[in-house]
């Protein structure tokens, strides 16, 4: 067998036996180097791992992870829920609408689906259960809605995409993700409202409507966070990395002095938790550098790209094939691993067919978002089922409905690229 086949097979074998993705990438890259180049080339391992993480834009990833943790612990989700309930009031499907809206707003702070799912599930699940919603439905809806965090800026996945794909403006990606993120939220909301009214979950006469003025004042610091991040980026006041620093500083002020639900001791623990999560992410990126270098030197990625291009001259058919492959990958891998593994193969395909890289990045993100609540792995769903104390298998029926709904939103963005590209063009970004 050729060295590139050995490398790919060793990567798949390591994954199947349960080796973590980061180490599977690094070890498979080493196999490719030894079998196809020279054992002496193993001396490049240190350089490749360092070069993979020695990139200034990557600083934004641990900072936005810290931002999400701070806002999660600062009581922001509860205040947003109360404000949304004041706006909507008790009605059939009211709490389902609240859950989707709050997940989307929280996504504009954390950039992380699992963090979003955890924060909203802790607040919303007890209320939805008391109102008559089945726990499997509530857990699935929150998990699906939290997946919009990968689209609504700031998004950790889009930050990485802008680094992996040369020449892509991160600000354009952030702007391009906004309307598809809202469209995905609406796509989830429609079946949720229909199901709520069909099964008559949540009586319109049940519960009191919180006072609008007071709940708005309490939610104002949380509502201002996305304005600060996106407004700073649009005005040119912040670069994306500086926006992440500003978001952390603002979250600390909100948690310590405004909501006062965050103490100095807990803040110190959050720094440690963010460091651990960021360490895992950076380890994946670092060891993926070995895999990427070996694949480039051996010509593995070029051969795979040529094979994909040779499957059909029909760009639409190949795009559908790629989307299905990414969806399947999203069921078992996280967004960061998918980008690092698949983009070296997909970039030549994207260039061959002339697909807009910003639009293509949003399509990939929407696919990965669907994978975040699609069993068997479904990271968001794992979080919400743990909070709800139910088995993952109980959510499969509801998950199929929401997968279909978000797939329709994905299809619309694929058919009409201007859904993603209109806003960055209006804002003057290079797309």
Segment 349-367, tens digit of pLDDT: 999 999 999 999 999 999 9
368 lies in a domain? Answer: yes
109 vs 98, residue with greater confidence: 98
251 lies in a domain? Answer: yes
69: left (phi over 0), alpha (psi -120 to 50) or beta: alpha
What average pLDDT does the structure give for the chain?
86
Residue 331 has pLDDT above 80, yes or no: no
Residue 414 has pLDDT above 90, yes or no: yes
Pick from 126-135, 212-221, 400-409 the range whose average pLDDT is largest: 400-409
22 lies in a domain? Answer: no
Structure confidence by residue, pLDDT tens digits, 41-56: 788 788 888 888 888 7
The pair of three-digit structure tokens given for residue 238, joined into one six-digit string: 């912040």
418 lies in a domain? Answer: yes
Could you give the number of structural domains in the chain? 1
38 lies in a domain? Answer: no
301 lies in a domain? Answer: yes
Domain that holds residue 275: 55-426
408 vs 1, residue with greater confidence: 408
**pLDDT score recorded for residue 305:** 86
Residue 136 has pLDDT above 90, yes or no: yes
Q: What is the average per-residue pLDDT within 153-175?
A: 87
121 lies in a domain? Answer: yes
Residue 206 has pLDDT above 70, yes or no: no
101 lies in a domain? Answer: yes
């Amino acid at each position: 067998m050729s060295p590139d086949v050995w490398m790919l097979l060793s990567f798949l074998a390591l994954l199947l036996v349960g080796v973590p993705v980061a180490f599977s990438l690094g070890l498979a890259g080493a196999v490719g180097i030894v079998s196809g180049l020279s054992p002496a080339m193993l001396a490049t391992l240190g350089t490749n791992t360092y070069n993979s993480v020695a990139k200034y834009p990557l600083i934004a990833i641990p900072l936005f992870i810290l931002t999400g943790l701070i806002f999660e612990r600062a009581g922001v989700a509860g205040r947003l829920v109360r404000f949304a309930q004041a706006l909507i009031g008790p009605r059939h499907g009211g709490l389902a609408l609240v859950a989707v809206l709050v997940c989307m707003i929280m996504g504009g702070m954390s950039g992380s689906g699992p963090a979003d799912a955890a924060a909203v599930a802790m607040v919303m699940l007890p209320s939805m259960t008391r109102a008559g919603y089945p726990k499997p439905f509530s857990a699935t809806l929150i998990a699906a809605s939290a997946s919009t965090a990968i689209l609504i800026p700031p998004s950790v996945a889009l930050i990485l995409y802008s680094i992996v794909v040369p020449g892509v403006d991160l600000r354009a990606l952030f702007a391009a993700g906004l309307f598809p993120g809202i469209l995905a939220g609406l796509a989830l909301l429609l079946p949720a409202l229909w199901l709520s009214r069909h099964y008559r979950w949540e009586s319109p006469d049940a519960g009191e409507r919180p006072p609008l003025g007071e709940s708005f004042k309490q939610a104002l610091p949380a509502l201002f966070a996305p304005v600060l991040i996106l407004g700073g980026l649009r005005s040119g006041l912040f670069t994306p990395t500086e926006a992440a620093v500003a978001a952390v500083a603002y979250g600390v002020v909100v948690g310590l002095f405004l909501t006062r639900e965050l103490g100095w001791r807990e803040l110190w623990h959050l720094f440690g938790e963010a460091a651990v999560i960021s360490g895992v992410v950076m380890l994946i990126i670092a060891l993926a550098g070995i895999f990427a270098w070996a694949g480039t030197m051996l010509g593995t990625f070029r051969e795979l790209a040529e094979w994909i291009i040779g499957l059909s001259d029909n760009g639409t058919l190949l795009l559908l094939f790629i989307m299905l492959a990414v969806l399947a990958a999203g069921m078992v891998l996280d967004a960061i691993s998918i980008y690092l593994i698949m983009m070296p193969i997909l970039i030549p395909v994207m260039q061959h067919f002339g697909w807009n890289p910003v639009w293509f990045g949003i399509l990939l993100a929407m696919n990965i978002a669907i994978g975040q609540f699609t069993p068997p792995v479904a990271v968001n769903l794992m979080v919400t089922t743990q909070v709800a104390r139910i088995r993952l298998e109980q959510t499969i029926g509801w998950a199929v409905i929401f997968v279909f709904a978000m797939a329709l939103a994905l299809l619309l963005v694929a058919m009409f690229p201007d859904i993603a590209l209109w806003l960055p063009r209006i804002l003057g970004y290079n797309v």
